[in-house]
Amino acid sequence: MTRYNFKESEARWQDVWLENRCFSVSDIEDGPKYYVLEMFPYPSGRIHMGHVRNYTLGDLVARYKKARGYKVLHPMGWDAFGLPAENAAIANNIPPAEWTEQNISAMRQQLKSMGLSYDWDREIATCHPNYYKHEQKMFLDFLGAGLAYRKEAWVNWDPIEQTVLANEQVIDGRGWRSGALVEQKRLSQWFLKITDYSEDLLSSLEELDRWPERVRLMQENWIGRSEGMRLRFEIEGREERLEVFSTRADTIFGATFCAISPNHSISSELSPKNPELAAFIEDCNRLGTSEAAIETAEKRGIDTGLRIKHPFLPTKTLPLFVANFVLMEYGTGAIFGCPAHDQRDLDFARKYNLDVIPVVAPKEADPNTFIIGEVAYLEDGIHINSGFLNGLSIVDARAIVATRLEEAGIGTREVNYRLRDWGVSRQRYWGCPIPVITCDACGIVPVPEENLPVELPQEVCFEKPGNPLEHHPTWKKVDCPACGAPAERETDTFDTFFESSWYFARFCSPNSENGIDAAAMAYWMPVDQYIGGIEHAVLHLLYSRFFTRALQKCGYLDMAEPFSGLMTQGMVCHETYQDESGEWLFPEEVHQNDAGENVTVENGLPVTIGRSVKMSKSRKNVVDPEEIISTYGADTARLFMLSDSPPDRDLDWTEAGIEGAWRYVNRLWRMVSEPHIPLIEAGLPTPTDMGENAAAAHRAIHKTIAAVSDDLDRFHFNKVVARIRELTNMLEGLLPEEAGAGWVYRDGLEVVIRLIAPMMPHLAEEMWQALGQEVLVANTTWPVFEPDLLEEEMVTLAVQVNGKLRGTLEVAKDLDQNNVELAALNIDAVVKLLDGRDPRKIIYVPNKIVNIVV
RNA sequence: GCCCAGGUGGCGGAAUUGGUAGACGCGCUGGCUUCAGGUGCCAGUGGCCGCAAGGUCGUGGAAGUUCGAGUCUUCUCCUGGGCACCA
């Protein structure tokens, strides 16, 4: 028995595809196009199983669409800027550029060994000046269009990475990479005006009907639209008004205090004269809002002594507090507190003994005795204690109070969003330099276009902490482009999400002089199918949607949405292993002894098996793709990635699973190398005489083509594998002596090969060649089914009595009710159950069931 | 706390509009091949009762609609994920 020699075969077919330029396309092609893109990797040095899954999925789609006649753009590149390169530079004394290039070469080799259908001529790396010079130009255009600005702001500071983080990069109050508790720091930073597009980014989500619902929902929540009112209250003894935002202006009669953020202008104004307040503000800023949330989130505040006039109650004034739970970044940085109907306000009121006045009571409650305990009342009800709002529901009261406030000129209806502008400055070396210059006389001056790119210096020193660009002896020293006086370059670089926000556009014309070529864009964009991890639901995927809109505004392209279809793949998981001391163990350090117990390979000590979780180096539950590919081949690894779980669900990596895939690969190979029915020559006409099995298999072939095509279109890849396995089982069961079996066997093989080709391309080519075919499978079209063969002449009817299955009937398709009833009532089990009684009713669903009701 | 997604054999998972639950695979059991392991081949494999034929229960739990519910409705439990002082 022969084994499939994947080592020899896979390398050979990879060369053949390359020589034949099977997957190369031009910047502009004719006919229908399909752009398949997988999220490009960070060049860490080695691929992991998550990459293997991602690229297997993408390759399947790309090869399938090509077979279906589309011009397919399927590129690959490197998201090459980022902090690990700097860490490597410090640890191993190797320049980031060199480290990155080495990693790229190593990973490129690994990807090539997977046999992916990339157009390698389009490869890009974002750390090349040839790439980032274009985004420097874009930034200057954004600046001109008012989409980029610099401001001093409280920012998230990661003390380990020594850099600023965007809100999207702070997870549970910690840096998304370093895990360090994020601090608040006031810095002058560059921002992109993503908030200009809040409404557009939100409302357009509706049209992204080929995106997963949950990603759209996550973006919706992140953008966080809320409708409310901006109110202007008089402050006793002051000219200026206090502006607050509220979604519950209907509860205005329940207001018993006002509160402002520690970073509000009034707080800053009062603090120099009030040491207690100054200390409180400092305390709040040191902790930061996010860390406060991690701890018990105790509400605290300081009374400013100022009094706020109630808009509808002339005699009533409210104390003004500086409070730690009021965020400067949301709304106006000030609120009115209505403790009865807001839990935070209630907690605060109880702590500082403020009044709690209920203004909405449940319908069934007695308004005179309704009181608030420790839980604020948030439900709908009837307004009480509220003057002209008494008796109204929340919705009605909200409308009436809004009109009254507007008429009085102290309120405006307003929509607020949670989304903040995107801070893009990073105090790092290994990123794209921000192309501006600071001049004492002229202020901030953009680098003139003809001086782009602003290139990173090669010689840098990582010995001092902080940003090497900052301590570089010469790099930042430059003459002001405006006045010629000595000036300084901006030493911050862009957030690396800047690069990934437009790389999909660059892939359409990677060698064009322009960063984005309008004609290539018009042909290839948008990306028809984008595939990647769910972790980018509100990071990269939101930034890219904004960036595309910004580029549209600046005339680079003419579309708003970059990705018309999105598939988010699940994680690759593996069991975890720990020895007696709780140390994690690699899978290869564990085996089963003769007694079937799990023990360490080294000295047979007991091992506890933990549940399957995402593969990660820290838990050591990782399997190296290179190891797998060299043991079983790329096709086996690819098959396993597709066969066990639907793509959007987590996949458990198991040794048994990969072994099973490997056995199937060999089984397929033997179907052509050692066929149990001699292979007949190609292209013979369909035999007129076929045995029963052969005819059934012939129909099965066509049903499989139909089902597999449908499942591929719907991304049900695990079902695709199941269907093809079913067909191969059937072909293997064909009897050699039966009429037509030889023809059906060969026909079935040809179909199977073309169906597996997008999943196991090397094996498909090898089998195809063994059948004597001359054209590559990669250049062959998708098989076509004959609709006539999908129809069966006989169907199996389920026969039920009172809804319970009691037997089946083999009948002609579309048999009429009378004949079906006759046959059904004759079944032994039915006769027995009826016991002489007449059925009350008989329900017949043609070709499916007949249900006899007694 | 709020918002999602999901609970189906020992395991991963199938099951168009409500219409034969468990496709396909893994694992397991028995047999053949083999010096042996592996591979390969044949048979079996949801639980319970039964030698069998067959019966009976069965899609997290409870109720409901229906001739018929994994699928629809209500309540409830559990798991995973996202957001989280957003006024």
**Which pLDDT belongs to residue A24?**
97
**Which pLDDT belongs to residue A314?**
92
Q: Is the pLDDT of residue A58 over 90?
A: yes
Q: Which nucleotides of B are covered by protein (CB under 7 A)?
A: 3-5, 11-15, 19-21, 23-27, 39-42, 54-56, 67-69, 81-87
Q: How far is the CA of A137 from the C1' of B58 (A)?
A: 66
A76 class by beta-carbon count within 10 Å (0-12 exposed, 13-18 middle, 19+ buried): buried
Q: How far is the CA of A656 from the C1' of B9 (A)?
A: 19
What percent of chain A has a predicted confidence (pLDDT) above 70? 98
Q: Which residues contact A618 (CB under 8 A, 6 or more apart)?
A: A584
**Which pLDDT belongs to residue A155?**
78
Q: How far is the CA of A530 from the C1' of B35 (A)?
A: 56
A795/A808 Cα distance (integer angstroms): 10
Q: Is the pLDDT of residue A111 over 60?
A: yes
Is the CB of residue A326 inside 7 Å of nucleic acid strand B?
A: yes
Q: Is the pLDDT of residue A464 over 80?
A: no
Task: Give tens-digit pLDDT for A22-36.
Answer: 999 999 999 999 999
**Which pLDDT belongs to residue A443?**
93
Q: How far is the CA of A831 from the C1' of B79 (A)?
A: 47
Q: Is the pLDDT of residue A357 over 70?
A: yes
Tell me the pairing of strands A33-38 and A71-73: parallel
A405/A798 Cα distance (integer angstroms): 69
Residues 280-319/A with CB < 7 A to strand B = 289-290, 292-293, 297, 299
Is the CB of residue A538 inside 7 Å of nucleic acid strand B?
A: yes
Q: Which residues contact A275 (CB under 8 A, 6 or more apart)?
A: none
A359/A256 Cα distance (integer angstroms): 12
Q: Which of A89-103, A173-187, A386-400, A628-642 has the lowest mean pLDDT?
A: A173-187
ipTM value: 0.93
| Nucleotide nearest to A332 in CA–C1' terms | B87
pTM over 0.90: yes
Task: Give tens-digit pLDDT for A340-349.
Answer: 999 889 989 9
Average per-residue pLDDT for chain A: 91
Q: Is the pLDDT of residue A176 over 80?
A: no
Q: How many CB atoms lie within 10 A of CB A603?
A: 7
Tell me the pairing of strands A794-801 and A804-812: antiparallel
- Structure-model confidence comparison of residues A595 and A703, the more confident one: A703
Task: Give tens-digit pLDDT for A191-228.
Answer: 999 999 999 999 999 899 899 988 999 999 899 999 99
Residues 389-448/A with CB < 7 A to strand B = 416, 418
Query: Dihedral sign, CA of A651, A54, A666, A738?
Result: positive
Q: How far is the CA of A804 from the C1' of B63 (A)?
A: 21
Is the CB of residue A673 inside 7 Å of nucleic acid strand B?
A: no
- One-letter amino acid at A438 equals T
> Side-chain half-sphere of A114: how many Cα atoms within 13 Å?
30
Task: Give tens-digit pLDDT for A711-722.
Answer: 999 999 999 999
Tell me the pairing of strands A849-853 and A794-801: parallel
Q: Which of A73-82, A401-410, A567-576, A605-614 has the lowest mean pLDDT?
A: A605-614
Q: Is the pLDDT of residue A476 over 70?
A: yes
| Structure-block tokens of residue A698 | 């012939």
List the one residue out of A364, A354, A391, A358 whose CA is nearest residue A377.
A358
A728/A669 Cα distance (integer angstroms): 11
**Which pLDDT belongs to residue A293?**
46
Q: Which of A409-418, A544-553, A830-839 has the lowest mean pLDDT?
A: A830-839
* Beta strands, E only, A159-256: 163-165, 170-171, 174-175, 183-192, 225-234, 241-246
Q: Is the pLDDT of residue A158 over 80?
A: yes
What confidence tier does A288 reach under pLDDT thresholds 50, 70, 90?
low
Q: How far is the CA of A599 from the C1' of B36 (A)?
A: 25
**Which pLDDT belongs to residue A371?**
86
Q: How far is the CA of A347 from the C1' of B83 (A)?
A: 22
Q: Is the pLDDT of residue A297 over 70?
A: no
Residues 694-723/A with CB < 7 A to strand B = 716, 718-719, 721-722
What confidence tier does A175 reach under pLDDT thresholds 50, 70, 90?
confident
What confidence tier does A613 reach under pLDDT thresholds 50, 70, 90?
confident
A595/A589 Cα distance (integer angstroms): 17
Residues 59-88/A with CB < 7 A to strand B = none
List the one residue out of A184, A243, A162 whose CA is nearest residue A416.
A243
Task: Give tens-digit pLDDT for A653-683.
Answer: 998 899 999 999 999 999 999 999 999 988 8
Is the CB of residue A258 inside 7 Å of nucleic acid strand B?
A: no
Q: What is the mean pLDDT of residues A2-22?
A: 94
Is the CB of residue A549 inside 7 Å of nucleic acid strand B?
A: no
Is the CB of residue A594 inside 7 Å of nucleic acid strand B?
A: no
A154/A158 Cα distance (integer angstroms): 13
Tell me the pairing of strands A529-533 and A33-38: parallel
- Structure-model confidence comparison of residues A251 and A156, the more confident one: A251
Is the CB of residue A251 inside 7 Å of nucleic acid strand B?
A: no
Residues 160-219/A with CB < 7 A to strand B = 167, 171-172, 213-214, 217-218
Q: How far is the CA of A643 from the C1' of B13 (A)?
A: 10
**Which pLDDT belongs to residue A183?**
78
**Which pLDDT belongs to residue A348?**
92
* Beta strands, E only, A30-75: 33-38, 71-73
Task: Give tens-digit pLDDT for A778-822.
Answer: 999 999 999 988 887 888 889 998 888 888 888 888 888 888 888
Is the CB of residue A798 inside 7 Å of nucleic acid strand B?
A: yes
| Nucleotide nearest to A726 in CA–C1' terms | B24
Is the CB of residue A255 inside 7 Å of nucleic acid strand B?
A: no
What confidence tier does A321 reach under pLDDT thresholds 50, 70, 90?
very high
Q: How far is the CA of A688 from the C1' of B27 (A)?
A: 44
**Which pLDDT belongs to residue A256?**
95
Find where tokens 């600023």 sit.
A164
Residues 598-657/A with CB < 7 A to strand B = 643-646, 649-652, 654, 656-657
A117/A833 Cα distance (integer angstroms): 61
Q: What is the mean pLDDT of residues A729-745?
A: 93
| Nucleotide nearest to A3 in CA–C1' terms | B39
Query: Dihedral sign, CA of A761, A767, A773, A774?
Result: positive
**Which pLDDT belongs to residue A269?**
93
